[in-house]
Structure 1
Amino acid sequence: MVEMWSYVSSKKNPRWLWHAIDRRTGQVLAYVFGRRKDEVFLQLKKLLLPFGIKRYCTDGWGAYERHLPVEDHAVGKRKTQRIERKHLRLRTRIKRLVRKTICFSKTEEMHDLVIGLFINRYEFGISV
C-alpha cells in the first residue's frame, strides 16, 4: 500500500490517491481518494478485508504504523517498488498528475473521476 499526492485547483488543496496492489501479480486490489489522514487509510483497509491479506508492505507513514499490526507490517521502499512504478505510469499518462503542468483539475469530483476511470480501464479492464 502506498499513497500518491496531486492537487485540485491549487497546491493548497492536496488530494491523495491511496491504493494497494498484490505484490505477486501487480494487480491493483483497491483504491480510494482523499486527504492524507487516517480516516482515508481506514477506508482503503476496509476495502481490502475481503482479500484476507496477511502481510502489508508500506513506506512507513504514520497511519500504517498506527493501524496495522506490527507482525503483519513490512516497511521499506524495496517492497513498494512495484506500486511506485504504477505511480510513474499514472504521472506519465495523466497530465494533471504531473507536478509542473498547466493542466489541473478544478474540482475534486473531476479529479477523482479522471484518475478512477484510468485505473478502472487499465488495471481492471473495465471500459465505459
Structure 2
Amino acid sequence: MSCKLTSVKKNKIWVWNVVNKSFPGILAFVLGERSSETFKPLWKIIRGWECFFYVTDGYVVYPQFINQGDHIVSKTYMTRA
C-alpha cells in the first residue's frame, strides 16, 4: 500500500488527507493550519500503517516526520486519475 498525503487551502484552513490511489475514499484527515503541529496527529494515525512509501507535494513539514527513503515528492501522483 502507498499512502498519498494531500492538502487543500480554503479560507485559511487546511484539509490534510490521506488516500490510497488504488481505492476510493479518504483514509484519514485533519483540519487546521499548515504546520507541523497540525500534521502531527495525522502522522500518529498513519505511521503505523504498512505503507511502502509516502507521496507528497514536498511541503517543508513532511521531512520532519517521513524518512527520506520513504518519501516521494511528486505532484504527478497527487491525484487519483
TM-score w.r.t. structure 2 length?
A: 0.83
Alignment correspondent of 1:105: none
- Corresponding residue of 1:78: 76
Amino acid at match of 1:65: P
Cα distance change, pair 50–57 in 1 and its aligned pair in 2 (3 A): same
Aligned-CA RMSD value:
1.6
TM-superposed deviation, 1:66: 2.4
CA distance in 1, matches of 2:65, 2:47: 13
Q: What is the percentage of aligned positions where both structures have the same residue?
A: 27
- Preserved CA contact (<8 Å) 2:16 2:39: yes
Which stretches of structure 1, 4 residues or more, deviate above 4 A after TM superposition?
Answer: none
1:23 pairs with 13, 17, 21, which one? 21
Match of 1:52 in 2: 50
Alpha-carbon shift at residue 2 of structure 1 (Å):
1.0
Higher relative contact order (CA 8 A, sep 6+): 2
Alignment partners' CA distance in 2, 1:49 and 1:75: 18
Please give the per-residue CA displacement for 1:42-70, whole angstroms capped at 9, x wherever unaligned: 11111213432221000100011222101
| Equivalent pairs, count | 77
Give 2:30's aligned residue. 32
Structure 1 residues without counterparts, runs of 5 or longer: 8-13, 86-128
Instruction: Please state which structure has a larger fraction of its residues in strand.
Output: 2
Q: Does 1:63 align with 2:61?
A: yes
Alignment-derived partner of residue 8 in structure 2:
4
> Could you tell me the TM-score, scaled by structure 1's length?
0.55
Unaligned runs of 5+ in 2: none
Say which SS state the counterpart of residue 9 (structure 2) adopts: strand
Find the structure with the greater CA-based Rg. Answer: 1
| SS of aligned partner of 1:5 | strand
Tell me how far 1:24 sits from its aligned partner. Answer: 1.6
